[in-house]
Amino acid sequence: MDVVFFGSGAFGLPTLERLAREHRVTAVLTQPDRKAGRGAKLTPTPIGAWAGEHLPDAPLLKPERVGEPAVIEQVRAIPADAWVVIAYGQKLPPALLEDRFAINLHASLLPRWRGAAPINWAILAGDAQTGNSVITLADRMDAGLVLGQSRRDIEPCVTAGELHDLLAQDGPELVMKVLADHAAGSVRSTRQEESLVTHARKLSKDDATLDFIQSAEQCRNRIHGLNPWPGVLVECEGDPLKLLGAEAAEPDPESEAAPGQIVDLDQGLVACGGGTILRLLEVQPAGKRAMPWADFARGRSLSPGARLIARSDPAC
Q: Which CATH number fits domain 2-200: 3.40.50.1980, 3.40.50.170, 3.10.620.30, 3.40.718.10?
A: 3.40.50.170
CATH classification code of 205-310: 3.10.25.10
**127 vs 254 pLDDT, higher one:** 127
What percentage of the chain carries pLDDT values higher than 90? 91
313 pLDDT above the threshold of 50: no
206 exposure class (CB count in 10 Å sphere: 0-12, 13-18, 19+): exposed
- CA–CA gap between residue 302 and residue 257 (Å, rounded): 16
- CA–CA gap between residue 40 and residue 111 (Å, rounded): 38
Residue intervals in the chain for CATH 3.40.50.170 = 2-200
Residue intervals in the chain for CATH 3.10.25.10 = 205-310
What per-residue confidence (pLDDT) applies to 40?
A: 85
314 pLDDT above the threshold of 50: no
- CA–CA gap between residue 268 and residue 197 (Å, rounded): 38
Average pLDDT over residues 66-80: 98
Lowest mean pLDDT among 68-72, 124-128, 253-257: 253-257
pLDDT tens column, 100-121? 999 999 999 999 999 999 999 9
pTM, full prediction: 0.95
- CA–CA gap between residue 200 and residue 189 (Å, rounded): 23
pLDDT tens column, 187-205? 999 999 999 999 999 999 9
What per-residue confidence (pLDDT) applies to 253?
A: 86
- The alpha carbon torsion through 165, 23, 114, 185 (nearest 10 deg) reads -140
pLDDT tens column, 222-256? 999 999 999 999 999 889 999 999 999 999 888 89
What per-residue confidence (pLDDT) applies to 39?
A: 81
If you average pLDDT over every residue of the chain, what do you get? 95
306 exposure class (CB count in 10 Å sphere: 0-12, 13-18, 19+): middle
Closest CA to 244 of 311, 305, 289: 289
Contact in structure between 224 and 160 (CB atoms under 8 Å): yes
212 pLDDT above the threshold of 80: yes
pLDDT tens column, 28-43? 999 999 988 878 899 9
162 pLDDT above the threshold of 60: yes
